[in-house]
């Protein structure tokens, strides 16, 4: 313990004191050690611990605190604790070397042993302290020089606007740890098998016209029944043939196709005058055709069949349906109240009250929605072509309601130059390709060409008005008129 205290005393002399103070401390230490040697009996090496109290016989002068106190170093187990009678100083080392060189070698061996316990202390012996001081000074000087250089070096300041900051953040590439590794170019077995599966299924390239989700806008609309709409239209496609009429004109001795067209043209005017819903007109035409296909009707009752059919359709579709007296007036009192109610009862009995049928209007609404993006002009053109087709007998006999609706949409896209004319979305929802619609499209465009010159102009007048976009005034698609099949 005394040896370590003396060793820290020498460190204090190296780093903080001048030579004069060091010599005074050596003389005081020598006098103290001489007095201790006279008062305390010599103990064998490795004996009991040295007492810190006063020596026997005479009072001991307390050593000054010279700033070299240090923490106690615990001795190694199995090794005797070394005791040195005085601190190691330069004068003491020179005296030992002159008097007893062997004692100096023993002290150096003790110092080498203490180096294992505390490495910096070994540098103090034999001039090691000077080397340590030089290294400390060198490190401190290098750190100061580095700090000075950093302060002198001009800092580059870049000012970014908020927009540039957002742009720079967006342009930062996102590199995953796996991708930045050395094996980033190596493909896994899963990726290889996935690529092969896509190639086998023909999914390697994206479709040019992807199918659009046309029902996303109706998520919050409970009346749109988004969950069931696909199933509903599948049912309509299956049920449309059940309510479709066959060619019945040959079974009517007093009625021909032209008379039937005149009746539908007049009902279109009545429908417009009463400001009814579009569904009412399409259902009226369906009821008229179905009844005429089941029952032979005299010519004088043909208008009565039309009035009664519209009365039934309005009761089915409208909120505020016209009254019987309204139909009597609109027909110029050709029939009385009893005639209309009697014919209404006869029609419902013949049809067995079966009124929930898929008319062209049911499919028109869906197919117009599939013709994205929505365009009011497009919608008016589709209804114009569809109603032109419904006036003519050949249309309802040759084609089912869904094909009439799909053909009206295709022809409207061609007339309004909507590219592409037929999309994957329309093909998905209609179930028809362009080739399947060819003949029906030509038929509708042919009706459009003659609409301004024919005598049956109710539909033409209706869609020539500004509230309908004046779509009836648009020129027909010339590319579809080459082989138009007219009745």
In this predicted model, what pLDDT tens digit does every residue of 466-476 receive, in sequence order? 999 999 999 98
Domain boundary among 326, 351, 376: 351
347 and 370 both lie in a single domain: no
Quick: pLDDT tens for 404-425. 999 999 999 999 988 888 988 8
Instruction: Classify each residue of 365-379 as buried b or exposed e, where b means 16 or more C-beta atoms within 10 Å of its C-beta.
Output: ebbbbbbeeebeebb
327 and 369 both lie in a single domain: no
Split into its structural domains, the chain has a count of 2
337 and 369 both lie in a single domain: no
Query: What backbone torsions phi and psi does residue 73 show, to the nearest 5 degrees?
Result: -95, 120
Burial of 406 (0-12, 13-18, 19+ CB in 10 A): buried
**pLDDT score at 67:** 52
What are the tokens at 315? 């009761």
More confident residue, 176 or 417: 417
**pLDDT score at 11:** 53
Instruction: Please report whether residue 394 resides in a domain.
Output: yes
Nearest to 369 by CA among 414, 428, 316: 428
Q: Cβ atoms within 10 A of the Cβ of 294, count? A: 14
380 and 337 both lie in a single domain: no
**pLDDT score at 183:** 45
Instruction: Please report whether residue 114 resides in a domain.
Output: no
Quick: pLDDT tens for 255-284. 999 999 999 999 999 999 999 999 999 999
Parent domain of 382: 360-480
**pLDDT score at 48:** 43
Instruction: Please report whether residue 20 resides in a domain.
Output: no
268 and 323 both lie in a single domain: yes
**Does residue 374 carry a pLDDT above 50?**
yes
Residue 357 · residue 282 · CB < 8 Å: no
Lowest mean pLDDT among 65-74, 135-144, 233-242, 300-309: 65-74
What angle is formed at CA 234 by the lines to CA 369 and CA 385, rounded to 5 degrees? 45
Q: For residue 195, what pLDDT band results from cuts at 50, 70 and 90?
A: confident
Q: For residue 346, what pLDDT band results from cuts at 50, 70 and 90?
A: very high
381 and 330 both lie in a single domain: no
**pLDDT score at 241:** 85
322 and 385 both lie in a single domain: no
Query: Among 202-206, 309-313, 425-429, which range has the highest average pLDDT?
Result: 309-313
List the CATH number of the domain containing 425: 1.10.472.10
What is the Cα–Cα distance from 319 to 292, expressed in whole angstroms? 27
281 and 344 both lie in a single domain: yes
**pLDDT score at 223:** 81
**pLDDT score at 213:** 76
Domain boundary among 296, 328, 351: 351
312 and 384 both lie in a single domain: no
What are the tokens at 454? 């024919």
Instruction: Please report whether residue 194 resides in a domain.
Output: no
**pLDDT score at 224:** 81
309 and 394 both lie in a single domain: no
Instruction: Please report whether residue 79 resides in a domain.
Output: no
Instruction: Please report whether residue 367 resides in a domain.
Output: yes
Q: Give the mean model confidence (pLDDT) for residues 331-335.
A: 91
Instruction: Please report whether residue 388 resides in a domain.
Output: yes
374 and 341 both lie in a single domain: no
Domain boundary among 308, 331, 351: 351
Q: Give the mean model confidence (pLDDT) for residues 32-57.
A: 48
433 and 372 both lie in a single domain: yes
**pLDDT score at 96:** 66
Instruction: Please report whether residue 70 resides in a domain.
Output: no
Q: What is the overall mean pLDDT for the chain?
A: 76
Q: Give the mean model confidence (pLDDT) for residues 183-204.
A: 71
């Amino acid at each position: 313990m005394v040896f370590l205290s003396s060793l820290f005393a020498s460190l204090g002399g190296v780093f903080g004191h001048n030579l004069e103070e060091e010599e005074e401390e050596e003389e005081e230490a020598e006098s103290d050690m001489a007095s201790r040697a006279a008062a305390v009996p010599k103990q064998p090496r490795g004996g009991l611990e040295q007492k810190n109290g006063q020596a026997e016989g005479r009072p001991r002068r307390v050593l000054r605190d010279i700033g070299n106190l240090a923490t106690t170093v615990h001795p190694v187990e199995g090794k005797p604790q070394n005791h040195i009678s005085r601190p190691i100083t330069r004068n003491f080392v020179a005296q030992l070397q002159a008097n007893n060189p062997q004692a100096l070698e023993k002290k150096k061996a003790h110092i080498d042993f203490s180096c294992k316990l505390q490495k910096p202390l070994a540098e103090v012996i034999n001039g090691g302290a000077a080397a340590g001081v030089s290294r400390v000074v060198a490190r401190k000087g290098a750190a100061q020089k580095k700090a000075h250089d950093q302060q002198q070096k001009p800092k580059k300041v870049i000012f970014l606007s908020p927009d540039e900051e957002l742009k720079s953040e967006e342009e930062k590439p996102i590199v995953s740890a796996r991708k930045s590794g050395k094996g980033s170019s190596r493909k896994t077995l899963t990726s290889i098998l996935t690529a092969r599966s896509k190639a086998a299924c023909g999914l390697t390239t994206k479709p040019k016209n992807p199918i659009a989700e046309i029902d996303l806008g109706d998520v919050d609309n409970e009346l749109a029944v988004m969950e069931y709409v696909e199933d509903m239209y599948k049912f309509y496609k299956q049920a449309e043939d059940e309510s479709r009429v066959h060619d019945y004109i040959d079974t009517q001795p007093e009625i021909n196709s032209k008379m039937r067209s005149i009746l539908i043209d007049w009902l279109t005017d009545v429908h417009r005058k009463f400001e009814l819903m579009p569904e009412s007109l399409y259902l009226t035409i369906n009821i008229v055709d179905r009844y005429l296909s089941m029952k032979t009707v005299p010519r004088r009752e043909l208008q009565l069949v039309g009035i009664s059919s519209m009365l039934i359709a309005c009761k089915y579709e409208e909120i505020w349906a016209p009254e019987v007296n309204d139909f009597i007036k609109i027909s110029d009192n050709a029939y009385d109240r009893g005639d209309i109610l009697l014919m209404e009862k006869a029609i419902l009995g013949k049809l067995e009250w079966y009124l929930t049928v898929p008319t062209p209007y049911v499919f028109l609404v869906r197919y117009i929605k599939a013709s994205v993006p929505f365009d009011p002009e497009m919608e008016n053109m589709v209804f114009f072509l569809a109603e032109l087709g419904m006036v003519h007998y050949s249309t309802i006999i040759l084609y089912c309601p869904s094909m009439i609706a799909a053909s009206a949409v295709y022809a409207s896209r061609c007339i309004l130059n909507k590219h592409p004319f037929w999309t994957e979305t329309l093909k998905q929802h209609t179930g028809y390709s362009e080739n399947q619609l060819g003949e029906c499209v030509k038929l509708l465009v042919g009706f459009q060409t003659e609409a301004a010159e024919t005598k049956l102009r109710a539909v033409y007048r209706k869609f020539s008005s500004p509230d309908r976009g004046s779509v009836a005034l648009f020129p027909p698609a010339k590319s579809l008129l080459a082989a138009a099949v007219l009745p």
